[in-house]
Amino acid sequence: MSDTPSLIGKAVPDFSAPLTSGKTFSMSGSKGRKLVLYFYPKDSTPGCTTEGQGFRDAITEFEAAGCDVIGVSRDSLKSHENFRAKQAFPFELLSDPDEKVCQLFGVMKLKNMYGKQVRGIERSTFVIDAEGVVRAEWRGVKVPGHVAAVLAQVQALG
């Protein structure tokens, strides 16, 4: 169980950050469409690749539900561009090297890696409605079955 307070029912503060394809994301600019923001630890690692492929493979269903999908990690735009191209992701990846967006969503955690404590992104997903309010969140995500659960939540928003 996470000790991070829930964001459900809270409006997401406006922020902007660089995306792949030379674009810039802004929260205020995404109003009017539902949004899935999924935070993942690192480009091109097994779990993160599998998770991204799941969103890729379900993108037509997300789009049919009026929902954009954006992956977020601390990796550089160059790393993101390579990861996105290699996996043929049809959605943008947001680069957050200074952890500003990660802090807004409370996804930075101390984790044990090979017996050492390291700070990293806790795999987390947020469903944000067309008004910019968080409607669902998952923290400490296990990848199998996750994308289907997120899609069901998006579709339930109508």
The mean pLDDT of 44-56, rounded to a whole number, is: 96
Query: Would residue 9 count as lying in a domain?
Result: no
CATH number of the domain encompassing residue 75: 3.40.30.10
Known active-site residue 48: yes
Query: Would residue 139 count as lying in a domain?
Result: yes
Task: Report the alpha-carbon distance of residue 129 to residue 151 in Å, rounded.
Answer: 13
Give residue 3's pLDDT band: very low, low, confident or very high (50, 70, 90): low
pTM assigned to the model: 0.94
Answer for the pair 54, 147: CB distance below 8 angstroms, yes or no: yes
Task: Report the alpha-carbon distance of residue 90 to residue 70 in Å, rounded.
Answer: 10
Asked if the model's pLDDT at residue 55 lies above 90, the reply is: yes
Q: What confidence score (pLDDT) does residue 114 get?
A: 82
Query: Would residue 94 count as lying in a domain?
Result: yes
Asked if the model's pLDDT at residue 150 lies above 60, the reply is: yes
- Please state the domain count of the chain: 1
Domain carrying residue 106: 16-156
Q: What confidence score (pLDDT) does residue 122 get?
A: 95
Single out the catalytic residue among 7, 35, 48, 127: 48
Query: Would residue 98 count as lying in a domain?
Result: yes
Query: Would residue 4 count as lying in a domain?
Result: no
- Radius of gyration over alpha carbons of the chain, in Å? 15
pLDDT digits (tens, 9 = 90+) for 99-143: 999 999 999 998 887 888 888 999 999 999 999 999 999 999 999
Query: Would residue 2 count as lying in a domain?
Result: no
